[in-house]
Chains A and B, each alone.
Chain A
Amino acid sequence: MALRAAVLRHIRLPVQTLTAAGSRPQPQWSFLRLFSSHDDHLTKEEVIDRVLDVVKSFPKVDPSKVTADVHFQKDLGLDSLDTVEIVMALEEEFKLEIPDKEADKIDSCNLAIEYIYNHPMAG
């Protein structure tokens, strides 16, 4: 008992004084939600980079012609089967499953990037 009192007398703890407006939450903790995947979306640059990589590594494509707004059939000279193949390669890269109706509409890099960026499950 006496030891406890003696020890307690010698312990100093930093005392945090509350401001007059009351206690505010620490700013650095309010952005850290440990189990939330809400902010987990891909950034647009990352999507663009990965889409362009997939298109460039397609064997029939000339990598120097690939830009972000290139049209698969008009600019790269591919045919419709190649377009479907590129869409399937993008599905594999981003672990998505694109329904047929949407896949038929994807005709150029622009549309592909937009679709993937807006897809909530893009990985």
Chain B
Amino acid sequence: MAFTLRSVKVPPNSASLEEARGRVFDFFRQACRSIPTIMDIYNLDDVVTKSQLRSTIASEIRKNTHVTNPKVIDMLLFKGMEELNNIVEHAKQRHHIIGQYVLGRQGLAQDLDTKDEGVSDFLKNFYKSNYF
């Protein structure tokens, strides 16, 4: 029943930016403390390390630093809390987590095997994009 307790709190109603900031840090700490559980549930030990997940969470939070309205921050926190609950109560699956939080700019993992070894740099760049 521990997973339902997270969402039962009173929805945050921050009066000022400072209070909203404090709530953001609380949310971040709560997410970081759930990282060991998440890695255990989804067997992420050989895919990613805890510090990489922490950095990913921090960069997700950082995407919204430009927001100044405390109510908007509350709404974003509510959505973040919902996402964290979904992940911790195993409502998502491993490929969701890997696709959304582990893989970076290069997207899905490239499978480079022996057929690609002799390929020239020109072809490799060509496969990636039109302009190089």
Contacts and interface: CB of A to CB of B under 8 A. Distances in A.
A52 interface: no
A85 B26 contact: no
B71 to A, nearest CB: 20
Interface residues of A, number: 16
Given A100-B26, A100-B29, A103-B29, A85 B62 contact: no
Nearest to A58: B51
A81 B55 contact: no
A84 B22 CA distance: 11
A118 interface: no
A89 B33 CA distance: 10
A57 B54 CA distance: 13
Given A81-B61, A81-B62, A92-B50, A59 B28 contact: no
A107 interface: no
B31 to A, nearest CB: 9
Nearest to A89: B51
